[in-house]
Structure 1
């Protein structure tokens, strides 16, 4: 017995000593549910230059969210569990904070995605906001940096159509930049023997939201189907994933990624960007899953999929991990971000006499959020403040046009964040209105000054009341104009009252033929054509110069101050600085007047017959005329059918009688 235990102990010791010499199985090569292989995927989209954590308001509370340093901590934790976890991004990685101002020279967003370990991304519409030269510059800067950067996949650029027409200078510039960076239709990745094809697509609505994009695109379903076929014919892959900047919607005919999932069922997973959707559970069509984690890096998406016996992939786990201030930032990532912000100070903000952390005003008011402006159709105090800022800055500019500003307009689609209570800094202001770049090549949309007739101002109110339910980015927030609308009235005739106010706040009636000076940002001017398209040309406005001459190129209407473009964000900063220092501490205070509605946009929520039919406009008569004509045609068709049936009946009776 003693010899037995001695031998057993020696054998056990030998096994323990030799065990480390045998390789352990890879974490993802091990069997998952039902003996299947398993893949872990992390994902982001619509981070919009939010490399650093940012203060904002959620559910009425001041919170600090996001930040790539905190996201890196979460990713490192996931990588510790599975080194082969795959990180993907679905576009709009740029345009949203001050760091975007060095996008075209330093490509900070691509380089920080690379530092996170992102392996594949795609283009969003806001990557094209920098115009072709800016995007090409960013791609070149990313390559020159020598830093790890994600592969970029995009399969539906229609180079064939563009080359058949002859490439424009912008198209040629982007093609060269895409080639130098290595943009491909798809990318093949190997994760512990599991081969994954990742393709990228750019949707129809994304293109509609990119007025300065010089490229043409194919339908995403057609292009993806062709690319999937190419992958299946030429590559030995186990899984097909799509990083899509197309988005989902509650309206089935506009939910582009759901349409894609149904049209190309071979795709196993779609990471869906563009619509900033937060999906608490995946959308599933057949064997295709669609996932979204929201915007600005508020969440890190995480999922696990296993291959089933029939070869398709099943989602076993799915979570959106909130990126909150309780998560410690990874030090190296934070140091990189801090260094980038120092460069922003020295190369961009110095032009405007600001620094990133400079306090512009103190705020005690609970402002609406940017989501409120987008989704809730009513007046909002944040929109009022921003519109007042535009009116103030345009009036102060040294523009040769000395006509007073009659109306200032802010569209919801350009408002990206709100102001928390406490100090409002330059960074906060830029984050709130961060989009675009001007013809001067300097980031930030400039303001424009144009003239519209009184009738067109009323049309603008009707655009907000009728069209913005179908195009929420066209919800308008205004200074100088007041209107009332009833959402239950017939479309294109929802506005029941529209007027202006003078300096004393007294009502002033709008004269249809009179020209009024209107200020908005460049993007709003560029998107007037899209509004015309959505309304099928019924609601259209023609920007004009002071003499009534039509403005053919909206960039001719850009406002300048001190010889440079008057940027929208700088207009807001200047307005906040100009406010009264009510408590005498040397810092402006946002007035209490913004705490409540100011009657600029009044919702008349009534279903009474009198309210529904009062004050009909020309559009109401046109629509009613069309409906009446359709009714007459239906009655006529019904009458003809009755006559035809009677005639056939009589003929049948006559035939039956002759047969007797």
Structure 2
């Protein structure tokens, strides 16, 4: 890996000169993004603030740059406590501009943190951010303009870039897709509606028709691959693994891959594989609590589910907000979750490698122990034997989605997506309530301790007030 970094090469920074200005540019990976990099092992990441300080010192003192720009995969957040790039700006004031990524934030105007400007243009190339700066003789920086330009069909195509893309397309088809029997522009199905965009999902988080489609595809494809050997009770995915929307019209192989494109090279080809683990009802509830208590501050952790219906009360204590869970049986009837029963759950390899992360993010409260079909505890190192195989190949999530789309009933000679995937259908329901009974009913130890503390506090206040009244009467 070190040799590859040298050969590519990967540099610690680069210098460009424009109109007599020396501009130093360096990249940075934030702590939250590093935690998300589940396949990075055995690579480790240094502290981003310390790395930035060292690089800025070199750029300022050795390279004598006039402007320091940080391309940061750390992100901003309305909650200042979780806004890594704002923390970076405060800790490393020598950075002039931070171009912020990772959190997919669309900043309509720059954030000024001290003397540092922070800009962000969303995700997936939807917007082009343009920042105009005026740099004075003493390197004083003045913002003269900032705008976001929507990238859509109104933007003329660049012929040279289009020609390059066409060249890559033939390579992808020849060296990758042909192995699975697909072509780049092959039509798999027709979608008669426009669904919610990924951008909208991050601004208005919750259940989505697209997430339902993807997780339903997991269960369908596992069943097909295994000849219906076992019933898959549920499937779970996270929003961060769904990378693109599907729009009205023909859905092609390239669209499907773009939607579920995450995953490293495994078993010779890239893409997340699908594995099946067994979770007790208690563990499954803990996994669903990710949606209620971790995702509000980390939206890419929002869940999509299949074979599950659950409700939660966002006003309850964190990590104890799920109030009811039902699981779909082989007869397609939903029944209440049983705490000690083991359920088969299809997930992708990315989520499988992050299950330990759930415990870390919940301060050890949400403990989850994945098991194999025999009931033995498993970990990430057991992934290969838990991976679902299809025709002698590991089943990849994009293949699962492609197969599921192709299975839909035909209309006018083409498989057509059912309209139930146009919008949420009640798999995840938020039921906000301040009713005291609903706040503590069937609560775990967190809720019980909180309730006891509140009761004790109320008793102490009542005793204090009563004592003061008695003292007043005595006088």
Q: Deviations over 1:160-201 (max 9, x none)?
A: xxxxxxxxxxxxx2x211222332322222223222222222
Q: How does 1:214-293 map to 2 (within 5 A)?
A: 214-293=42-121
Secondary structure of the residue that 1:468 maps to in structure 2? helix
Which of residues 586, 606, 609 is equivalent to 2:436? 609
Q: Is the CA contact 2:281–2:338 (under 8 Å) kept in the aligned structure 1? A: yes
Structure 1 residues 311 and 599 mapped into 2: Cα distance closer, same or farther (>3 Å)? Answer: closer
Structure 1 residues 545 and 341 mapped into 2: Cα distance closer, same or farther (>3 Å)? Answer: same
Q: Is the CA contact 1:375–1:472 (under 8 Å) kept in the aligned structure 2? A: no
Q: What is the rounded CA distance, in whole Å, between the counterparts of 2:266 and 2:452 in structure 1?
A: 45
Residue matched to 2:128: 300
Which of residues 271, 284, 299 is equivalent to 1:444? 271
- Return the offset for 1:519: 0.3
Q: What is the rounded CA distance, in whole Å, between the counterparts of 2:60 and 2:293 in structure 1?
A: 46
Residue matched to 1:486: 313
Q: How does 1:68-217 map to 2 (within 5 A)?
A: 173=1, 175-213=2-40, 214-217=42-45
Q: What is the rounded CA distance, in whole Å, between the counterparts of 2:36 and 2:23 in structure 1?
A: 31
Which of residues 537, 552, 576 is equivalent to 2:405? 576
Residue matched to 2:391: 562
Q: Deviations over 1:428-455 (max 9, x none)?
A: 1111111012531311100001111122
Q: Deviations over 1:615-636 (max 9, x none)?
A: 323442244356678x59x99x
Structure 1 residues 300 and 374 mapped into 2: Cα distance closer, same or farther (>3 Å)? Answer: closer
Q: Is the CA contact 1:492–1:620 (under 8 Å) kept in the aligned structure 2? A: no
Q: Is the CA contact 1:287–1:312 (under 8 Å) kept in the aligned structure 2? A: no
Structure 1 residues 322 and 593 mapped into 2: Cα distance closer, same or farther (>3 Å)? Answer: closer
Structure 1 residues 184 and 332 mapped into 2: Cα distance closer, same or farther (>3 Å)? Answer: closer
Structure 1 residues 482 and 376 mapped into 2: Cα distance closer, same or farther (>3 Å)? Answer: same
Q: What is the rounded CA distance, in whole Å, between the counterparts of 1:596 and 1:227 in structure 2?
A: 47
Q: What is the rounded CA distance, in whole Å, between the counterparts of 1:374 and 1:441 in structure 2?
A: 33
Q: Is the CA contact 2:187–2:253 (under 8 Å) kept in the aligned structure 1? A: yes
Structure 1 residues 182 and 492 mapped into 2: Cα distance closer, same or farther (>3 Å)? Answer: closer
Q: Is the CA contact 2:312–2:430 (under 8 Å) kept in the aligned structure 1? A: yes
Secondary structure of the residue that 2:296 maps to in structure 1? coil
Q: Deviations over 1:118-177 (max 9, x none)?
A: xxxxxxxxxxxxxxxxxxxxxxxxxxxxxxxxxxxxxxxxxxxxxxxxxxxxxxx2x211
Gaps of 5+ in 2: 465-475
Q: What is the rounded CA distance, in whole Å, between the counterparts of 1:308 and 1:219 in structure 2?
A: 32
Q: How does 1:453-468 map to 2 (within 5 A)?
A: 453-468=280-295
Residue matched to 2:470: none
Residue matched to 1:102: none
Structure 1 residues 439 and 330 mapped into 2: Cα distance closer, same or farther (>3 Å)? Answer: closer
- Return the offset for 1:594: 2.9
Structure 1 residues 309 and 564 mapped into 2: Cα distance closer, same or farther (>3 Å)? Answer: same
Q: Is the CA contact 2:196–2:423 (under 8 Å) kept in the aligned structure 1? A: no
Which contiguous aligned blocks of 4+ residues in structure 1 show a shift greater than 6 angstroms? Answer: 626-629
Secondary structure of the residue that 2:122 maps to in structure 1? coil
Please give the TM-score of this superposition, normalised by the length of structure 2: 0.90
Please give the TM-score of this superposition, normalised by the length of structure 1: 0.66
Which of residues 333, 344, 354 is equivalent to 1:506? 333
Secondary structure of the residue that 2:161 maps to in structure 1? helix
Structure 1 residues 419 and 271 mapped into 2: Cα distance closer, same or farther (>3 Å)? Answer: same
Structure 1 residues 492 and 475 mapped into 2: Cα distance closer, same or farther (>3 Å)? Answer: same
Q: Work out which of the two has the higher radius of gyration on C-alpha atoms and give 1 or 2.
A: 1
- Return the offset for 1:549: 0.5
Q: What is the rounded CA distance, in whole Å, between the counterparts of 2:182 and 2:298 in structure 1?
A: 35
Q: Is the CA contact 1:374–1:475 (under 8 Å) kept in the aligned structure 2? A: no
Q: Deviations over 1:486-526 (max 9, x none)?
A: 11222222122112233554332322222111101111111
Secondary structure of the residue that 1:197 maps to in structure 2? strand
Most deviating of 445-454 and 480-489? 480-489
Q: What is the rounded CA distance, in whole Å, between the counterparts of 1:609 and 1:625 in structure 2?
A: 13
Q: How does 1:393-472 map to 2 (within 5 A)?
A: 393-398=221-226, 402-472=229-299
Residue matched to 2:346: 519
Secondary structure of the residue that 2:229 maps to in structure 1? coil
- Return the offset for 1:361: 1.1
